[in-house]
Structure 1
Amino acid sequence: MSIVITGASGRLGRLIIKELLHHVQPDQIVACVRQMDSAAALEEQGIAVRFCDYDDPASLKEAFAGASRLLFISSPHPDDTVRLRQHAHVVEAAKKANVSHILYTGFAFPEHSDMSMTHLHLATEHAIRTTGIPYTFLRSGLYMDFIEALDLQAAMSTGHLRVHPGSWQFNAVTRTDLAAAIAGVLSGEGHSNKTYELVAPSVWTFNDLVSSLSELTGTPISLCLTNEVQHWIFSFLRKIDTSSTSGDLENLLGRPPASLKASLQSYIGEVRSN
């Protein structure tokens, strides 16, 4: 079995490969990257590294050659028009390379969202379906990293977490849990033509956040609802589905995903060490 992974030098790609090495041998993995010098550590582990540029269709066909399973990590390009073209290149190259199975990392519950990014993911899934190649759609939930935009350091210093008013609920998950689940699917069986919503099985609120922060820091922190907070993250969060839940991630992991408190503990440790 040859597992080819695009975007292998990115944050999620590296975590997936780290988890995948618990399931398969290094010589079964092909890491596709745009900057070859970024993958030296992967080569040192015995993983084959191939050049792969979403804007260069010829490089894609060569990179995907012999793939039993292709993990297509969506493009990070900020322009969705460019991303759509890049995704079309990947899908077409997968067909030409006779890839046996395409696994695509989209966004959770895109049908419930209203922004160009989620429309792009739906369009890419449709394109993959039309190839006739067996597929698995790995729809990732909101990364827990988004809490960094809330300036928790200021909240811990002042005792107040300032957020926009609203009925906020979050199904966010850690990249580590996503990587573990995706690695299990990549190396396992029985996932053909399935769609997984990789979100938390239950939601948390900003009240839960300040409660956990207070407990972890030993300092009372209160929630301050105000329209004075100026940050793009709140506009983004209003346009996507952050409240729907699913048991898919927990089932694939075979355990509960990391809790809010556990995720915060790691984040607070990083803040204090800097």
Structure 2
Amino acid sequence: MVGQLSPESPKSVRNEVRWLRVAFPHPGKRDTKSPSKDCSWWRNGTTRTIGQLLDDIDHAHVPPQNGAEIQLFRVFPVGLTTRMIVITAASGALGSLVVERLPANLVRPAVRHPRHPGQVRADYDDPASMREAFSGAERLLLISSPELDPARRLRHHLGALQAAQNAGVKSVVYTSFLGADTNPTSLTEAHHATEQAIIESGLPHTILRNPLYSEPFLPPRTASEVLSGTDGRGLNTAFRTDLAQAAATVLLEDGHLGRAYDLTGPLWTFPQLAAALGLPYREQTPPGPMGWLHTLARSGEFERQTGDLENLLGRRPIPIIPHAVE
């Protein structure tokens, strides 16, 4: 027996996603080929090995306790993962992470330039390619266009929505931005209009309002000081890995249609980050688009906190400060 799973009856997990707690007495020494009777309910009574279990589920590491390595495994029961899911912008930084978190036989990665087996062509500037790529899909993850011009970005989104309707897609999940429901300007202009278009389309949908990504705010490892123009105000950024897992959860589970989630990561500040890294902190607004974001942060634009991301993940989102120090 490789690990000890906490008691979970098949009946209690059949219609919802649960976390299983697994203890490996000897960290790093797992016999993933050994069968586990505790996993026998997983696939219609078929015994699963720990290795097979790892292939089918998402897992999150928890620090060792009493010398034993503890891991939490998120299980997607049979019956929740039987629809074909199309992911737009699937070769991008966020889309590729979502694809990794979905069962390979249920995901169709849609990209502008297919380069790998299984990928299909879907160009935001070519509605016919999107219609073909979306054909037969039960669910569509519409990852917002990377286009910076709001008018052009909105055209991309409206074209994708029309293609989804023409292709008979049953529901849409859209990656929006925090505040897009109430603020139609600045960062959220195209997102606000897209959300309204999705509602007016009549398509069953889920809105994921993402925060800023954490990754661009991490200082380089060679940094000798930490600079920002935020005046010490907080940021609610989140890592793409967490946002991708939230998207995968919504795509795989039932019960999310008609809902909008305002996703936020743990609040942090640049002075806190500098202190954690042991580096001096200095107020200096960076040039370019990042400087604009720092100015918005200085006004408190990114301090909102909700529990939506934590609820979708089933755990606390990854905080930026310990991650930066590792």
Question: What range describes the TM-score normalised by the shorter chain of this pair?
Answer: 0.7 to 0.9
Aligned pair count reads: 241
Paired position in structure 2 for 1:33: 111
Shift of 1:113: 5.6
Q: Is the partner of 1:172 in helix, strand or coil?
A: coil
Find the structure with the greater CA-based Rg.
2
Q: Secondary structure at the match of 1:110?
A: coil
8 A contact 2:229–2:283 mirrored in 1: yes
Q: Does the CA-based 8 Å contact 1:113-1:239 persist in structure 2?
A: no
Q: Using the alignment, how far apart are the partners of 1:231 and 1:74 within structure 2?
A: 22
Paired with 2:175 and 2:236, the residues of 1 have a C-alpha distance of: 17
Does residue 211 (structure 1) correspond to residue 249 (structure 2)? The answer is no
Q: Structure 1 unaligned runs (5+)? A: 215-220, 267-274
Alignment of 1:82-231 (within 5 A): 82-110=152-180, 115-148=185-218, 151-153=219-221, 156-157=223-224, 160-164=225-229, 166-200=231-265, 202-214=266-278, 221-226=279-284, 229-231=286-288
Offset of residue 116 of structure 1: 3.7
Instruction: Answer yes or no: is the 8 Å Cα contact 2:85–2:106 preserved in 1.
Output: yes
Structure 1 residues 111, 4: closer, same or farther in 2, change over 3 A? Answer: closer
Q: Which whole-Å CA distance do the structure 1 matches of 2:288 and 2:149 have between them?
A: 20
For each residue in 1:5-45, what CA deviation from the matched residue of structure 2 results, as whole angstroms up to 9, or x when unmatched? Answer: 11111111110111123xxxx221111111012xx1xx2xx
CA distance in 2, matches of 1:225, 1:18: 39
Query: Retained in 1: the 8 A contact 2:234–2:267?
Result: yes
Which of 72, 93, 107 is the matching residue for 1:11? 93
Q: Which residue pairs with 1:234 in the alignment?
A: 291
| Displacement after TM superposition at 1:112 (Å) | 6.5
Structure number with higher relative contact order (C-alpha < 8 Å, ≥ 6 residues apart): 1
Gaps of 5+ in 2: 1-82
- On the 8 A contact 1:169/1:205 being kept in 2, the answer is yes
Mapped to 1, the partners of 2:221 and 2:324 lie a distance apart of 12
Structure (1/2) with the larger strand percentage? 2
RMSD (Å) for aligned C-alpha atoms: 1.9
Q: Which moved more, 1:182-191 or 1:109-118?
A: 109-118
